[in-house]
Each structure stands twice: as structure tokens, then as C-alpha cells.
Amino acid sequence: MAKIKILQEGQSYTFRSYFELPYEADDILAEFNYSLERAELSLPRTTRQLDHLPELKQKIRAFLPFISLSNETARRETLVSPILLEVVIYCQCKMRIEYPLNVNNWLKGNLDYLLRSTNNLLVIEAKNDDLTRGFTQLSVELIALSYIEEQNVFYGAVTMGDVWRFGKLDRNSQQITQDINLFKVPDDLDSLVRVLMGILEGESNSEQ
């Protein structure tokens, strides 16, 4: 079967463009010589004591019945930012918000959240509550990061605030793996934060 040509030479594409393109993720990633696999990721997890997490979970349970998550601002301010700020406090890591990145005409735009510690972690918000297209955008942003960072494995997450999905880029195999599992907030908050911290702190797992 002939390869679909999606990206045009001389055309400019931002990260948001890949969310809007009407093509399958694996066809888009093939433009960058990456393959896409959907599988159950063995994600790193911290085993540290997380003393303040029950308090955050209780707070989220208390306000969620009264908050509409129908727009990006609401999701960012009530769920995404508080969870990531909790991670920053535990890890004492750097977090860049709306971080500008310009690799070339096909890889440029702003990264929603870039956390830096032993490893980097990219988190983006899914536009229009669309995790599928959001993951395509996340994958392209991970490819862009791989051009400027030295590590061989990159992790990222796409979120709608109350739902999170992880992805992993392996530069050596030119493959991006989409985790088939979802983390839901508030029920899976403890597991979610442990994974976010495990990635940043370089915790070992069965795939490393």
C-alpha cells in the first residue's frame, strides 16, 4: 500500500495543527519515521510517602460536583494545575508552562506543561475533550522534544483533567507507545501522582 503523504514541504505546522489534521495518528507519526503501538505500559512509580495527597483528593471530591469541566480553563485551573503543582512540591522539580519550542517548520509551538527533573515529563491538555486527537498532538510534541534533549526515552501524558493517558517515546526504536489504560481523577489520584513522580525521578521499571 502506498504511503499517505500528509505533510507538505514548505508548509508550516504548529503542534495544534496535528490535533486538527483529519488523519490517523499512525499515518501522521510515519511522516516523522515513527511507528505507533497501543499496549499496556509498565510505568515507573515512586514508593515515597505522599503525606498531603489524601487532602488534595478530599478537596477534589468536595468541589467536583459544583464545577463544570466544559472548557479548558476550568479543567486547567481546578484539576490539572493543582495536581502538577503537588508533584512539583514533592519532587522539587522545575515546571515550564506554555513553554515555546521551535525545532523546524513542522515541529513548533507551545508545550502546555514541561516538568524537568532527572527526566523530563510533558503534559498537555486535550482540546475539545478529545483524548484520541490529543494523543496525536502529544506524540508529535514528544518527537520535537527528542530533537533537543539527550535522553532516549521520553514520557508524556494527555489529560482532560479528570482523565489521563500516558505515552512513551523510544528514540532507539523510533516507536511511540500509547498506554491502553486510563487514570481517572479523583479515584486514581494516588496512582497517577506516583507515576508522574516516578517518571520525573527516574524510578526503574520493567521496561528500562
Sign of the CA dihedral running 70, 71, 77, 79: positive
6 closest CA partner among 40, 179, 192, 20: 20
Residue 101: strand pairing partners: 109
90's grid cell: 514533592
Half-sphere exposure of 182 (CA within 13 A, CB side): 14
Residue type at 140?
A: V
* Calculated CA dihedral for residues 116, 122, 127, 133, nearest 10 degrees: 170
Question: How far, in Å, CA of 124 to CA of 138, rounded?
Answer: 7
pLDDT in tens, the chain (208 residues): 446 789 999 999 999 999 999 999 999 999 999 999 999 999 999 999 999 999 999 999 999 999 998 888 999 999 999 999 999 999 999 999 999 999 999 999 999 999 999 999 999 999 888 999 999 999 999 999 999 998 899 999 999 999 999 999 999 999 999 999 999 999 999 999 999 999 999 975 534 3
Contact 25, 36 (CB under 8 A): yes
Domain ranges, ordered by start, for the chain: 15-42+52-200
pTM (two decimals): 0.93
CATH class of the structural domain 15-42+52-200: alpha beta
HSE (side-chain half, CA atoms, 13 Å) at 194: 18
